[in-house]
Amino acid sequence: MCKAAPWQTGVYVPKDWTMASQEIENLVQALARLPGLGPRSARRAVLYLLKRPETTMKPILSAMEQVEANLVTCTICGNVDTKDPCQICSDPRRDEKSLCVVEEVSDLWALDKSRLFPGKFHVLGGKLSALDGVRPEDISIDKLLKRVEQGGIDEVVLAMNATLEGQATAHYIAERLESFPVRLSQLSHGIPVGGELDYLDEGTLAQALRSRRPVE
Ligand SMILES: [Zn+2]
């Protein structure tokens, strides 16, 4: 029986050993903070970039620089873009008469990607929350009222999240818009396409039951 080599006992490697320089480590750590990427995926991405810097790293660098240099928040709707008014607000093909109100820019992007809504958007930049002390004046509600007040909008779709706070926000906005001659509608929250009842949480099921409609 020969004695185990020091590395086999697992105590040989000092804790501060790193396999890459601090610069590369910094890059890995920066990427690992991105949503959807953990340290493991970040390390794989960095390795991929290092292997082909000309075709991978340089285009990313220049795209990032261009976006970063021109990044603005749209003064009309609150979307983020590289121009103000943003691409959506300045697109004449969009229906000026329909306005979809969302909590965050991520909701706007998700809805717009579906290509189901032909109108324009309004980003609140949050939701009312007694717990977090978010009041109506803290999010973009007054700006929304001003947009509606200016006229030309027939329908406002309240596309808040199906959370208590999201629904309270929708309710509050609906009340504030009551006196305006606009049609108000809300996303119906129900069973997702392909969803099996078994897998749904009680809230979704209850909402689906409440918003049930006649069989066509
Ligand atoms: Zn905009």
Distance 115 CA to ligand 1 centre (A): 17
Expressed in angstroms and rounded, the spacing between residue 132 Cα and the centre of ligand 1 is: 27
- Quote the ligand 1 centre to 88 CA distance (angstroms): 6
Q: How far is the CA of 153 from the centre of ligand 1 (A)?
A: 15
The pLDDT value given to residue 196: 78
pLDDT tens readout for residues 20-53: 889 999 999 999 999 999 999 999 999 999 999 9
- Please work out, in degrees rounded to the nearest 5, the angle formed at the alpha carbon of residue 159 by the alpha carbons of 67 and 80: 10
C-alpha–C-alpha distance, residues 114 and 135, integer Å: 31
What residues does 129 pair with on adjacent strands?
Answer: 134
Radius of gyration of the chain (CA): 25
Cα 68 to averaged position of ligand 1 atoms, centre (Å): 18
Question: For ligand 1, a single-atom ion, which residues have Cβ within 5 Å?
Answer: 74, 76-77, 79, 86, 89
Domain 13-70 has CATH 1.10.8.420: yes
Query: Is the per-residue pLDDT at 164 higher than 80?
Result: yes
The CA 72 to ligand 1 mean position distance, Å, reads: 10
Give the tokens for residue 52: 């082909």
For residue 147, pLDDT beyond 60: yes
pLDDT at 1 over 70: no
Q: Token pair of 121, please?
A: 């958007």
Question: d(Cα 142, Cα 189) in Å, to the nearest integer?
Answer: 26
Q: Which of 204, 163, 167 is nearest to 186 (CA)?
A: 167
Q: Ligand 1 center to residue 87 CA distance, Å? A: 7
pLDDT recorded at residue 133: 94
* Dihedral-angle region of residue 135 (phi above 0 means left; psi in -120 to 50 means alpha; beta otherwise): beta
In the chain, the percentage of residues whose pLDDT exceeds 70 is: 94
Contacts 24+ apart (CB under 8 A), 70-79: 76/147, 77/108, 77/120, 77/121, 77/122, 77/123, 78/105, 78/122, 78/123, 78/124, 78/125, 78/140, 78/143, 79/105, 79/108, 79/121, 79/123
Residue 144 CA to ligand 1 center (angstroms) comes to 12
What separation in Å is there between the alpha carbon of 73 and the centre of ligand 1?
Answer: 8
Which of 90-104, 112-126, 175-189, 197-211 is predicted with the least confidence, judged by mean pLDDT?
Answer: 197-211
How would you list the strands of the sheet with 119-123, edge to edge? 119-123, 95-102, 155-158, 183-186
Contact between 122 and 145 under an 8 Å Cβ cutoff? The reply is no
pLDDT of 101 strictly over 80? yes
The architecture (CATH level 2) of 80-210 comes to 3-Layer(aba) Sandwich (3.40)
Amino acid at 3: K
Omega within 30 of 0 (cis) for the link into 85? yes
The SS3 of residue 15 is coil
* Domain range summary for the chain, segments of one domain joined by +: 13-70, 80-210
Q: Is the pLDDT of residue 5 over 80?
A: no
Distances (CA, A) of 73 to 70, 84, 125, 205: 10, 7, 11, 37
Cα 163 to ligand 1 centre (Å): 25
